[in-house]
Amino acid sequence: MIYGEQSVYLSPFNMKYILMKAYVFPGQGAQFSGMGKDLFDSSEVAKELFLKADEILGFEIHKIMFYGTDEELKQTKITQPAIFLHSTILAACLGDSFQPAMVAGHSLGEISALVANKTLRFEDGLNLVHKRALAMQKACESVPSTMAAIIGLEDTLIEDICAGIDGVVVAANYNCPGQLVISGETSAVEEACAKLKEVGAKMAVLLQVGGAFHSPLMESAREELAKAIEATEFSTPICPVYQNVTASAVSDPNEIKKNLIEQLTSPVRWTQTMQQMIADGATEVVEVGPGKVLQGLFKKVDRSFATSSATLDSVG
């Protein structure tokens, strides 16, 4: 039986040993100074792709990634392409060992996943990420907005509280059971945090972000990015992608494109994505890119679930 690019022999006695690796790609917030330098120094494939990225973007982003300050790396126009490059170049370096049964990415990471599973060309993915970052930055500057992490409440209660606030505040990132990020106008988010603490939230903390990602306040960015996405060729992937908007497996290029357009103003359904991947047979998750945040979130869903990081040790 074949799952994606992986195959195992099945008999009535070994059904439980099916190997189905899920590869996941992190989003904004996982950046760090020095990211990707080990790849650049060790792999000609990586070096070629980093230099190609410099040419596409019109500046030497690899030098900012390797030697830039934390403040430089926090700029949305740098952060998003930097994380994308670290993830997609690492995936490219894995060579034949990259055998996904399924992929997914958290927010920005969804574009990395779409390059890794061959829906998008590397160059097209980078162009979309660059335009996404600039469009989101512009939208953030149009109205005072923010996000906040809510810990220790049921999702439905948070949704109900947000719905009763006068102003724009919505559930934005369903990160794992008991952890949800809300997003919207600063005053509305602050009011929601106060009310959520009153009803028992363990934490309701404003995040240091540029604005209200994955909320209706990103509509202008969605419209701008939609034009770029519509003009980009999407191919049939080598394995399904579990998209943020649907939290379900998608293989049709037109559907993938539609969901990606809706992503900026829709919540990241990561909790539901993890649950669905496991329900669909994932036996292990491999995080491709900086950090281990997504592995930790999978452990919140199922402590016994196998997780690992893609590293140079796994590069052939």
Catalytic positions are 107, 214
Neighbour tally for 112: CB within 10 Å = 31
Query: In 202-257, at which residue ranges do the beta strands (DSSP E only) sit?
Result: 203-206, 241-242, 249-250
What would the two tokens of residue 129 be? 């990420």
Q: Is 18 helix (H, G, I), strand (E, B) or coil?
A: coil
Bridge-based pairing state of the strands 21-25 and 102-105: parallel
Q: Comparing C-alpha atoms, which of 302, 272, 244, 288 is closest to residue 21?
A: 288
Q: Comparing C-alpha atoms, which of 302, 28, 300, 280 is closest to residue 180?
A: 300
Only one residue has tokens 């949800």, namely 180
Q: Which residues pair with 286 in a beta bridge?
A: 23, 308
Q: Is 278 helix (H, G, I), strand (E, B) or coil?
A: helix
**What is the C-alpha end-to-end distance of the chain, expressed in Å?**
25
Q: Is 63 helix (H, G, I), strand (E, B) or coil?
A: helix
Only one residue has tokens 């779409």, namely 114
CB 309 within 8 A of CB 289: no
Residue 97 burial by CB count (10 A; 0-12/13-18/19+): exposed, middle or buried? exposed
Only one residue has tokens 């700029």, namely 75
Q: How far apart are CA 93 and CA 285, in angstroms?
A: 18
